[in-house]
């Protein structure tokens, strides 16, 4: 009989320092003793941000930040290694591996300094350095516990398209690579510790899956290996009813459906990368979110159906780093295919469109994209509608960044009339002004746009209105 296979992912804080890595190694060891286990790790907390910031400064003409960040990372990783692995030979072997990564980093920063250019491909290579440093350390910590374990560079097992900064997996090729490289390790009782976040094209060029992408790496590997479950170990007790940093009364949700969790992730719940659930949906692989700092707690279980008995609103989420773009003017009523042209423009850019709203008078098409996509989207739209702007058929293309989307999520809202009414009444009482409203036809989410400064009040108000802070079981 095939051994039970778990894919376990550990985020930045779960590998944030030697003590966290040691705790993580214990969790992996416990999993591996009970069955087969593949680990996926992020970079140590904050490392990816520091690498990206340094890369941007080097591109802008400073030389220092590249050398400085690599030196700081060397110190940080060597210190962690020193306390995780006592055996001098074992330590030296890991030092050699991470030294190669630092050498590559040095060349990448040098190239950037020389050309004063940071291509998306180089930015991917630089931002992926952190995972390539943390994985050998975690594998070393697992070996120090007496198990067999090896770091695996995900560029050898996850194959993607060439969309740098947000690549999509090619599942067929990924499956082949996982069967060839990871399955034999698993069968021999070796725990692979795979770098999260990074992957490679068919030609072997490094790509990344987007910020926070290690969650996605874990479910891609879970699907490719037909795992029995994926466990995402993080620094909170599971998926909460709202972001605990904004709503202190937020509570852990014991069971939630794929759809609900995906809606939350899509609308900014940082606990999951937006695409995390895509790879596992078809095979119905359960996903757990658990706290690596409190592994005795049960966490949240994400399943195809969630909890059938639970009704109404499940959770709230909000997303701040967004921009409202509006294309409009009285002339657009008679203009053919404004909507089509607008959204084929965004599709071409692969801009992340989060919400669309069009008033019935058709004077204005409003939609929301991630803040990072706003400028290039507006530029592309101005180009697309250049003629129409010149002839005043399209009057304006504007962008507003002082907004936030708040989403009310719950699969069973479908059968619960009045959710929208209750939400908007409660917000009205608190004087929260609604800029736009959208409800997906699936009725598992109602989202609305508010001024950024009203976001927190909106969340707290809706959380209270639906009693989400009160335990249900
Ligand atoms: P990791 O480094 O483990 O990937 P992240 O920082 O990416 O962890 O995600 C976990 C964080 O997500 C939590 O610390 C919490 O602050 C935030 N968060 C936002 N919304 C939610 C939510 N609904 N449930 C749980 N955590 C949330
Ligand atoms: N280290 C990467 C990031 O910070 C990926 C991840 O943490 O999931 O975006
Ligand atoms: Mg994360």
What secondary structure does DSSP assign to 145-202, as a single string? TT-EEEEE-GGGT-BB-S-TTS--B-HHHHHHHHHHHHHHHHHTTEEEEEESSEEE-T
Pocket test for ligand 2, best of 51, 53, 196 (most atoms within 8 A of CB): 196
Question: Is the CB of 274 inside a 6 Å radius of any atom of ligand 2?
Answer: no
User: Residue 319 in contact with residue 267, Cβ under 8 Å?
Assistant: yes
Q: Whose CA is nearest to atom 11 of ligand 1?
A: 271
| Per-residue confidence (pLDDT) for residue 473, from 0 to 100 | 47
Task: Determine phi and psi for 273, rounding to 5 degrees.
Answer: -60, 140
Question: Is the CB of 373 inside a 6 Å radius of any atom of ligand 1?
Answer: no
Q: How confident is the model at residue 1 (pLDDT cuts 50, 70, 90)?
A: low
What separation in Å is there between the alpha carbon of 272 and the centre of ligand 2?
11
| Per-residue confidence (pLDDT) for residue 315, from 0 to 100 | 96
Q: Which residue has the tokens 């907390």?
A: 45
Which residues does residue 240 pair with via DSSP β-bridges, in sequence order?
252
153-198, pLDDT tens digit by residue? 999 999 999 999 999 999 999 999 999 999 999 999 999 999 999 9
Task: Determine phi and psi for 95, rounding to 5 degrees.
Answer: -55, -40
Percent of the chain with pLDDT over 70: 96
* Secondary structure (H, E, C), 354-415: EEEEECCCCCEEEEEEEHHHHHHHHHHHHHHCHHHHHCCCCCEEEEECCEEEEEEECHHHHH
Question: Is the CB of 211 inside a 6 Å radius of any atom of ligand 2?
Answer: yes
Question: Is the CB of 217 inside a 6 Å radius of any atom of ligand 2?
Answer: no
Q: Which residues surround ligand 3, an ion (CB under 5 A)?
A: 11, 212
Which residues does residue 319 pair with via DSSP β-bridges, in sequence order?
405
pLDDT at 9 over 80: yes
pLDDT at 360 over 70: no
| Per-residue confidence (pLDDT) for residue 107, from 0 to 100 | 98
Cα angle, residue 27 at apex, residues 26 and 30 outer, rounded to 5°: 85
221-280, pLDDT tens digit by residue? 999 999 999 999 999 999 999 999 999 999 999 999 999 999 999 999 999 999 999 999
pLDDT at 358 over 80: no
Mean pLDDT over 48-55 rounds to: 98
**More reliable by pLDDT, 46 or 394:** 46
Q: How confident is the model at residue 335 (pLDDT cuts 50, 70, 90)?
A: confident
pLDDT at 405 over 90: yes
Flag the least confident range among 165-179, 361-375, 422-436, 447-461.
361-375
Ligand number nearest CA of 212 is 2
């Amino acid at each position: 009989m095939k051994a039970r296979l778990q894919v376990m992912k550990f985020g930045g804080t779960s590998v944030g320092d030697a003590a966290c890595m040691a705790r993580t190694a214990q969790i992996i060891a416990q999993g591996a003793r009970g069955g087969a286990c593949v680990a996926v790790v992020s970079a140590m907390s904050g490392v990816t941000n520091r690498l990206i910031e340094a890369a941007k400064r080097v591109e802008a003409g400073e030389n220092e930040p590249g050398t400085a960040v690599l030196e700081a990372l060397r110190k940080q990783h060597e210190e962690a290694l020193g306390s995780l692995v006592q055996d001098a030979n074992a330590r030296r072997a890991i030092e050699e591996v991470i030294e190669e990564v630092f050498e590559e980093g040095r060349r990448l920063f040098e190239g950037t300094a020389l050309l004063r250019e940071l291509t998306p491909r180089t930015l991917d290579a630089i931002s992926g350095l952190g995972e390539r440093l943390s994985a050998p350390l975690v594998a070393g910590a697992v070996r120090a516990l007496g198990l067999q374990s090896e770091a695996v560079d995900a560029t050898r097992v996850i194959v993607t398209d060439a969309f740098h900064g947000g690549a999509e997996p090619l599942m067929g090729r990924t499956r082949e690579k996982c069967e060839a490289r990871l399955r034999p390790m698993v069968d021999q009782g070796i725990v692979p510790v795979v770098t999260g976040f990074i992957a490679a094209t068919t030609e072997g060029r490094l790509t990344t899956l987007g910020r926070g992408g290690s969650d996605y790496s874990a479910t891609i590997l879970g699907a490719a290996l037909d795992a029995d479950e994926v466990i995402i170990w993080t620094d909170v007790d599971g998926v909460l009813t709202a972001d605990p940093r904004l709503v202190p009364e937020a509570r852990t949700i014991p069971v939630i459906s794929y759809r609900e969790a995906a809606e939350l992730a899509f609308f900014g719940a940082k606990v999951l990368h937006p695409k995390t659930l895509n790879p596992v949906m078809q095979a119905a692989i359960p996903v757990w979110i658990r706290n690596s700092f409190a592994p005795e707690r049960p966490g949240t279980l994400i399943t195809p159906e969630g909890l059938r008995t639970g009704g109404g609103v499940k959770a709230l989420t909000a997303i701040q780093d967004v921009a409202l773009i509006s294309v409009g003017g009285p002339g657009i009523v008679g203009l053919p295919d404004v909507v089509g042209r607008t959204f084929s423009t965004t599709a071409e850019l692969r801009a992340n469109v989060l919400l669309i709203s069009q008033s019935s008078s058709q004077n204005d098409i409003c939609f929301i994209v991630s803040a990072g996509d706003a400028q290039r989207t507006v530029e592309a739209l101005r180009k697309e509608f250049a003629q129409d702007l010149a002839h005043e058929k399209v009057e304006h293309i504007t962008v507003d960044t002082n907004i936030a989307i708040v989403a009310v999520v719950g699969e069973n809202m479908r059968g619960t009339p009045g959710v929208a009414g209750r939400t908007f009444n409660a917000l009205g009482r608190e004087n929260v002004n609604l800029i736009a409203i959208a409800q997906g036809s699936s009725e598992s989410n109602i989202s609305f746009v508010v001024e950024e400064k009203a976001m927190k009040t909106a969340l707290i108000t809706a959380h209270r209105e639906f009693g989400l802070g009160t335990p249900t079981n």
